Copies of this chain bind each other. A is one copy, B any other.
Amino acid sequence: MNLEEKQISYDYIYKGKIINLRKDTALLPDGNTALREVVEHPGGVCVAAITKKNEILMVRQFRYPYMENVLEIPAGKRDKGNESPLECGKRELKEETGAVAEKFINLGQLYPTPGYCGEIIWLYAATGITFGQAQPDSDEFLSVEKIPFEKAVDMVLEGEIKDAKTQTAILKIKLLKDKGIL
């Protein structure tokens, strides 16, 4: 079954600070056309850092679109030229929490909301944590929290942690630990 759509035309509605918005006309597999709204984003990286005491480093920050504080693993967008996802993850972990890790483990990619958004989020676990000085961005207000890892798993299962990358990374690490892989 051919599912492929093709771009017929595009129109930039907005080019902004973090995102762009495009409105395209797409050719559908049956020959008809459809409107496709596309949010462009440079991509993000998140790091689930596990301390020697088996705690996970989390940041609580106000997320304006929800008008509430949201508990997440450290993350940020790829905005420094040709920085690789891994380099971006190391930088964001250090900036937001002050932590430096000996070892990074690739946990794959995440497509947050593929119907209308092209963002890719790279997921990493990190171990061998030591602490330096945090340096958050000037418009970024964070509270860093250390949560026992098994408690964080329960918080995900009980619906208390809502952020997609955080839920996915914590549950992946839990299952990889249970299998003896991590």
Asked if A109 meets B23 with Cβ closer than 8 Å, knowing A65-B116, A171-B172, the reply is no
How many copies the complex holds: the figure is 2
Chain B residues whose C-beta falls within 8 Å of the C-beta of A114 in the assembled complex: 63, 65-66, 70, 72, 163
> Given A28-B139, A36-B64, A143-B3, A111–B164 Cβ distance below 8 Å?
yes
Q: CB-CB < 8 A to A37: which residues of B?
A: 16-19
Question: If the complex has contacts A37-B19, A116-B19, A157-B175, are A167 and B62 also in contact, measured as CB distance less than 8 A?
Answer: no
Considering the chains assembled together, what is the distance between the CA atoms of A32 and B139 in angstroms? Answer: 8
- Tell me whether A69 is interfacial, beta carbon within 8 Å: yes
Contact of A65 among B3, B106, B117, B156 (CB under 8 A): B117
Give the most central of A62, A72, A114, A139: most B CB within 10 Å.
A114
CA distance A35 to B137 in the complex (A): 14
Chain B positions within 8 Å of A110 at CB level: 162-164, 167
Besides A3-B143, A24-B64, A107-B159, 9 other CB < 8 A contacts? A3-B61, A5-B62, A28-B141, A38-B64, A111-B163, A113-B121, A113-B164, A114-B163, A168-B168
Secondary structure class of chain A's binding surface, majority of residues: mixed
**Bound state CA distance, A124 and B19, in angstroms?**
30
Q: Is the CB of B3 within 8 A of A13?
A: no
The 8 A CB mask of A22-41 against B (1 = contact, 0 = none) is 01101011101011111111
Q: A174 to B34, alpha carbons, bound, how many Å?
A: 37
- The reply to whether B39 and A111 contact each other, CB–CB distance below 8 Å, is no
**25 contacting pairs across A/B (C-beta < 8 A):** A3-B61, A3-B141, A14-B14, A16-B23, A19-B37, A24-B64, A29-B62, A34-B139, A36-B65, A38-B64, A39-B39, A65-B115, A65-B117, A65-B118, A108-B159, A110-B167, A111-B162, A121-B164, A157-B175, A157-B179, A164-B164, A167-B168, A168-B171, A171-B175, A178-B178
